[in-house]
Amino acid sequence: MTVPGVPDYEAEFARAIAQFWAIKTNQQAAADQAGTSAGATHGAVRAGKHMAPFEELVRQVVRDAGVTVDVEQAETIYVPGYYRETKSWDVVLQYKGHALAIVEAKSQGSRLANNFNNRVEEAIGQAADVWKSHERGLLVSGIRPWVGYVMIVEETPKTTEPKHLLAGKAVPPGMVVDSGFDGMSYAERYAEAFKRLDQERMLDATCVAITSSGSAYSYPDEWLSFNGFAAQLWGRCKHALAVLG
């Protein structure tokens, strides 16, 4: 379902998914040929750029909403931090000198042992840091930043099989682990984590998609679709236009 006035971006999102796989395949082939692959798709991940199609789609939404952003000063943009000096974000867009949209785009393959917690911790830390940075006036923006996250999870047996709660891990007596995570796959746990980050206002919008190959993909939760993400970003742009002209 789309919002009246906001384009349906699912066809563009499918193309971004297809480009994501094409880039990863080409990068993995180059890594294999160079003898630098660490196995699976790790060589492709290390090469980067496979999330570029989604970053460009975020920029397209902003353009479609009628906003001509300030010129991006470099390929990698660092946002001032409060708990650290700076942190690079994948998409940093300003409008008339104000922070319009700050978005991170990440993917998760089959190397899940530590990466799931690392990814979630990274998202929490980035969000907390940018909000505190804005609160302390370091972003020098007259309007509140808009912070989003796009997560692409590769569909493999490891990412989709149900996981038992704790699974042998020990917690101190008297502490209670959220039973809602019991039986969830890693993909579903990503969806739950980012949905909660959205609900708790740590992030303004989140998109989580699962994909196996080609242009095929699905959403583990209807609230995490790219159309939903785009509708919220579209609203942000219209608000900025109304305030800043």
Model pLDDT for residues 22-68, shown as the tens digit of each residue: 998 888 788 777 775 444 444 444 446 899 999 999 999 999 999 99
Q: 84 versus 168: which is more confidently predicted?
A: 84
Closest CA relative to residue 190, chosen from 229, 151, 241: 151
pLDDT for residue 29: 81
Instruction: Report the DSSP beta bridge partners of residue 130.
Output: none
Q: Residue with structure tokens 């990698």?
A: 76
- pLDDT of 4 reads 74
- Residue 219 in 3-state DSSP? coil
| Residue position matching structure tokens 């970003």 | 233
pTM for the predicted model, two decimal places = 0.89
- Phi, psi (5° rounding) for residue 100? -85, -55
For residues 184-212, give the mean pLDDT.
95
Q: How far apart are CA 62 and CA 118, in angstroms?
A: 29
pLDDT in tens, 164-186: 887 778 889 999 999 999 999 98
Would you say the C-alpha torsion 202, 118, 42, 222 has a positive or negative sign? negative
